[in-house]
Structure 1
Amino acid sequence: MTSLASLPLFPLQTVLFPQGRLALKVFEARYMDMVSACLRTSGTFGICLIAAGSEVGEAAVPHAVGTEARIVTADATTAGVLDIVVAGERRFRLHDHSVGKGQLLEGEVEWLAPLAHQPVPEAQDNLIPLLRKIVADQGDRVAEPHRFDDAEWVGARYAEVLPIQSLAKQKLLELDDVVSRLEIIQQYLDQRGLLDTRPA
């Protein structure tokens, strides 16, 4: 029998990937309370792409696969607003969810197994130079260690920055085949003339 864990949920119009970083402005009471509780207990919450609804007001309907978020920094620089940066940790699958106090979603989640390390295949080697430039431009917004030899890490970092619809990012998050993810990204970039296709 699958063991489920309880996790507060923060549905958003964006996708968080494992080992990624995401800056958020928190101002609704339900999320201020959730973040405060996480800071007190070193707890985490889940970020899911919204399937129906909106980020504010009534609880939204989340997509089933999301990512656990751990708060890295929190600053109250503006009255009534908390600026936080979160780190993406484990992926999870949502089995059920309920609406609790103040319209905060509470999920019953199954942790998905970590994806095994795979080197970037030779056929996708031309993804690396462009990603190195992107990471350099992003600076400390991309957390170290930088794993340019890891197919999952490379695919996730690309998926975060590509100007594609959130639903497409969600599909990339859900993929367990990290090489297929690289092939999709490579095709997207190649069609736009963004990759060096000259032989090494």
Structure 2
Amino acid sequence: MITDAATAFELPLFPLQSVLFPGGLLGLKVFEARYLDMIGSCLREQTPFGVIALKKGSEVKAADRTPVALESVGCMAELIEVDSVQPGILQVRCLGTQRFEATHLEQQADHLWVAQARRLPEDETVLPSEALLGSAKGLANAIATLKQQGSVPFLEPYQFDSAGWLANRWCEILPISLAAKQKLMELPDPLVRLQLVDEFLRSKGVVV
């Protein structure tokens, strides 16, 4: 992980009970004042915010003040669409860009979480090995099936020749636990990430 203090920057956070991967699409319905203000600021300044998974608690401010615990690694999100469907509610579409490590977390007076963050290295562009080509073919088939059902979960262009892109897209649609998705997202080696996904797919008979 990056340890150079000069790379640290302040990043507003949107904690979720899900994991955002680089290159992934995320839709949000925003209605709490702290997040409406955050989205407005990101729009004006053309800056990202951080999506980080919850280990404990909820993204919605709870009346019983349930403690919140956050993961230390998340993914930055870039706004690509913001629509005001009705007063006080925004429908937001984001693209996951780069992973970050939250080295310090602080909750502001408006209850918005802010991190001192450091960017983590982007995945190297690595071709899937021949043994993993079944995962690429399987994802192409899954995308075709989803399109027939009227769902387009991934942003084009598709990168079937990238081990990291393949692993990330599979992780988004596989029925695995939040903790498992978090561990996979954190892995620095995209080929190892795809190998683990491939093992899971083979164990379920998705890839033979």
Unaligned segments of structure 2, at least 5 residues: none
Q: 1:116 aligns with which of 117, 124, 127?
A: 124
Q: 1:149 aligns with which of 147, 155, 161?
A: 161
Q: 1:179 aligns with which of 191, 194, 198?
A: 191
SS of residue in 1 equivalent to 2:158: coil
Mapped partners of 1:87, 1:60: distance in 2: 25
Is the 2:124–2:190 Cα contact (8 Å) retained in structure 1? Answer: no
Q: Which amino acid aligns with 1:145?
A: P
Deviates more, 1:5-14 or 1:127-136: 127-136
- Following superposition, the deviation at residue 78 of structure 1 comes to 3.0
Mapped partners of 1:98, 1:140: distance in 2: 36
The size of the alignment, in residue pairs, is 196
Q: Once superposed, what is the RMSD of the aligned Cα atoms?
A: 1.4
Find the counterpart in structure 2 of residue 69 from structure 1.
77
Q: Which amino acid aligns with 1:135?
A: I
Is the 1:11–1:60 Cα contact (8 Å) retained in structure 2? Answer: no
SS of residue in 2 equivalent to 1:22: strand
Mapped partners of 2:102, 2:17: distance in 1: 17
- Following superposition, the deviation at residue 110 of structure 1 comes to 0.7
1:161 paired to 2:173:
yes
Alignment of 1:42-61 (within 5 A): 42-57=46-61, 60-61=68-69
Mapped partners of 1:102, 1:181: distance in 2: 37
1:21 paired to 2:25:
yes
Is the 1:8–1:105 Cα contact (8 Å) retained in structure 2? Answer: yes
Kindly report structure 1 stretches of 4+ aligned residues shifted beyond 4 Å: none
- Following superposition, the deviation at residue 141 of structure 1 comes to 3.1
Q: Deviations over 1:105-134 (max 9, x none)?
A: 110001011121100110111111210122
- Following superposition, the deviation at residue 96 of structure 1 comes to 0.3
Mapped partners of 1:60, 1:28: distance in 2: 17
- Following superposition, the deviation at residue 140 of structure 1 comes to 4.2
- Following superposition, the deviation at residue 190 of structure 1 comes to 1.0
Find the counterpart in structure 2 of residue 78 from structure 1.
86
Q: Deviations over 1:172-191 (max 9, x none)?
A: 10001212111211111111
Find the counterpart in structure 1 of residue 36 from structure 2.
32
Is the 1:30–1:104 Cα contact (8 Å) retained in structure 2? Answer: yes
Mapped partners of 2:70, 2:79: distance in 1: 20
Is the 1:68–1:90 Cα contact (8 Å) retained in structure 2? Answer: yes
TM-score normalised by structure 2 residue count: 0.90
Q: 1:131 aligns with which of 136, 139, 158?
A: 139
